[in-house]
Amino acid sequence: MKVEHKHLLIECYKDRHLDAIKLESLVVKLCKTIKAQVLGGPTTYYCEQPPHNMGWTCFLAIKQSHIICHTFMDYVLMKEQMQLDIYSCKDFDIKDVFKFLEKNEFYNIKYKLINREKDLDNEYISF
């Protein structure tokens, strides 16, 4: 198996609020969608720090790395926003992720795909 270093960062919106149970179910289904294997979790926490940090954070450890998402209310748009982070050493098709999100009523999906094998070219220099 070829080792990949895909790091997919997504911002998207949903009209309905996600509670902890729905969010945990969502990340487990997403894990199956990208054909990854659960290592541990999901574990979900609620942050009550107003005004912009109030929301859920859900972690799912996968054998290939992790899936993490943060949800919070965007008070300008009055929509639930989700920030999703998928890092995997196993290859997956990012189009499957977009289809999954659309099927689950997420929209205005923006993303950045980082190949951590090649895209990390800045080197830290000690000061």
The tens-digit pLDDT sequence of the chain (127 residues) is: 565 789 999 999 999 888 999 999 999 999 999 999 999 999 999 998 876 678 999 999 999 899 999 998 877 778 889 999 999 999 999 999 999 999 999 999 999 998 877 766 666 777 7
Model pLDDT, residue 12: 96
Please tell me the distance from the alpha carbon of residue 47 to that of residue 73, in angstroms, as a whole number.
Answer: 12
Structure tokens at 71: 């949800």
- Given the candidates 3.60.90.10, 3.30.70.3040, 2.40.50.140, 3.30.70.270, the CATH classification of the domain at 6-110 is 3.60.90.10
The DSSP result for 2-70, as a single string, is: ----EEEEEEEEESS---HHHHHHHHHHHHHHTT--EEEEEEEEEE--TTTS-EEEEEEEETTEEEEEE
Model pLDDT, residue 117: 73
Please tell me the distance from the alpha carbon of residue 82 to that of residue 67, in angstroms, as a whole number.
Answer: 13
Q: Which residue shows structure tokens 């309905």?
A: 16
Model pLDDT, residue 75: 74
Q: Where are the domains positioned within the chain?
A: 6-110
